[in-house]
């Protein structure tokens, strides 16, 4: 079974549990905090992935880091993961939880790449326009790429709209090449 499939099943289980306990928002915040800790500590990830280190040691490390700082439900969930031999994919499960949370809540992540940073007003207007188009809540991230010259490129999932000057110049060049000019 693939890591993605296993991570997805555990994440779905945690979402179901959090929904039963009416604590989905709190669990999501705690999981995001866990992701930050895991991503910023390569030694912790190495310990969790090391098959030589016992499950008891891994549980001690996780309890020392998170007990009292995040929901006891999540700490218990981590204990179950370690006991089932899934400590190595803890980060994958946490990231999948956030992805599935966004799906449950109808939140879509989009990126807008522009030649210069967008103003807050432009970002808000674009965010509202995308949300109206796809009928979902949108979290918009602005990436600056000066090679675009001007304009922007919006990516939502697997869809992309290229309204950049560089993109238009490339289309024009292809048109001339195809016309034999």
Domain boundaries defined on the chain: 3-103, 106-179
Quote the CA–CA distance of 77 and 84 in Å, as a whole number: 11
pLDDT at 59: 94
- Greater confidence, 174 or 48? 48
pLDDT tens sequence across 7-25: 999 999 999 999 999 999 9
Residue 165 has pLDDT above 90, yes or no: no
Helices 72-83 and 3-20 pack at an angle, to 10 degrees, of 150
Query: Which strand (E) or helix (H) includes residue 142?
Result: strand 137-144
pLDDT at 34: 95
Averaged pLDDT, 71-97: 94
- Greater confidence, 173 or 77? 77
- Greater confidence, 179 or 29? 29
Q: How far is CA 112 from the centre of its chain?
A: 16
Asked if residues 65 and 55 have their Cβ atoms less than 8 Å apart, the reply is no
The burial of 31, by beta-carbon neighbours within 10 Å (0-12 exposed, 13-18 middle, 19 or more buried), is given as buried
| Confidence bin at 180 (pLDDT 50/70/90) | low
Segment among 78-92, 124-138, 144-158 with least mean pLDDT: 144-158
Bridge partner list, 130:
none
Q: Give the sign of the dihedral formed by CA 130, CA 136, CA 139, CA 145.
A: negative
| Confidence bin at 92 (pLDDT 50/70/90) | very high
Q: Which CATH architecture has domain 3-103?
A: Orthogonal Bundle (1.10)
pLDDT at 181: 59
Residue 110 has pLDDT above 80, yes or no: yes
Quote the CA–CA distance of 49 and 89 in Å, as a whole number: 8
Q: Sheet of 152-156: strands edge to edge?
A: 137-144, 107-114, 152-156, 159-162
Residue 55 has pLDDT above 80, yes or no: yes
């Amino acid at each position: 079974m693939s890591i993605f499939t296993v991570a997805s099943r555990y994440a779905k289980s945690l979402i179901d549990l959090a929904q039963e306990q009416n604590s989905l928002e709190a669990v999501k915040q705690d999981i995001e905090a866990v992701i930050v800790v895991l991503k910023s500590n390569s030694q912790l990830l190495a310990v969790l992935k090391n098959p030589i280190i016992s499950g008891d040691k891994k549980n001690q490390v996780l309890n020392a880091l998170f007990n009292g700082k995040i929901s006891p439900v999540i700490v218990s969930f981590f204990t179950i993961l370690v006991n089932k031999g899934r400590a190595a994919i803890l980060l994958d499960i946490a990231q999948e939880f956030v992805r599935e949370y966004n799906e449950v809540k109808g939140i879509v992540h989009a990126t807008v790449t522009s030649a210069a940073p967008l103003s807050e007003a432009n970002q808000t207007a674009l965010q509202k326009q995308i949300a109206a188009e796809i009928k979902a809540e949108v979290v918009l991230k602005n990436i600056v790429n000066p090679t675009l010259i001007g304009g922007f490129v919006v990516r939502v999932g697997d869809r992309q709209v290229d309204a950049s000057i560089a993109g238009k110049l490339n289309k024009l060049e292809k048109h001339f090449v195809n016309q034999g000019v």
